Amino acid sequence: MYRVILFFALISSLICCNKEEEDLDFSISLVDTFPLIISEFQENIVVKIKYQHSEGYIGFSNPDVLSLEIKDSRLVNSDYFHLIPLNPPSQSLSVKGEIEIEIDSPFILGNENIQSESLFYSIRIQDNNSKWSNLIETPQITVNR
């Protein structure tokens, strides 16, 4: 009888201690984007985002893993970048903070007759469990010749 009670106690503790994926709090939000009007090839765009992850699984120690996705609204494909780990190896700690992303100066696509063009960036982050954060978008940015 003692073994049965011990078995059920062990099973119930394992069930109670497992964190459901639905409980995972992983989100990003836009803090600021500047400048919003630029001359092509002259200024980089700075995007500040807040992040929060309940287990701290943001960033990878392997520099070949690209977990930051940035997509220019004018283009079909996204660009991907590496984020360094925010937690010590093998640690699961809740993290939150800000990341400042500097995007190389955009330029006008197309022919020389176009004097200005508008775009925005879509950004998201992938965690170590291959789960993507929510997608955020910058305000409209105007690029002038």
As averages over each run of 10 residues, the pLDDT of the chain (145 residues) reads 46 48 78 97 96 87 93 97 83 87 94 91 93 96 95
pTM for the model stands at 0.80
What's residue 89's pLDDT? 72
What's residue 5's pLDDT? 46
Closest CA to 33 of 142, 135, 116, 145: 142
H or E segment to which residue 5 belongs: helix 2-17
What's residue 102's pLDDT? 97
What's residue 94's pLDDT? 86
**CATH architecture assigned to 22-144:** Sandwich (2.60)
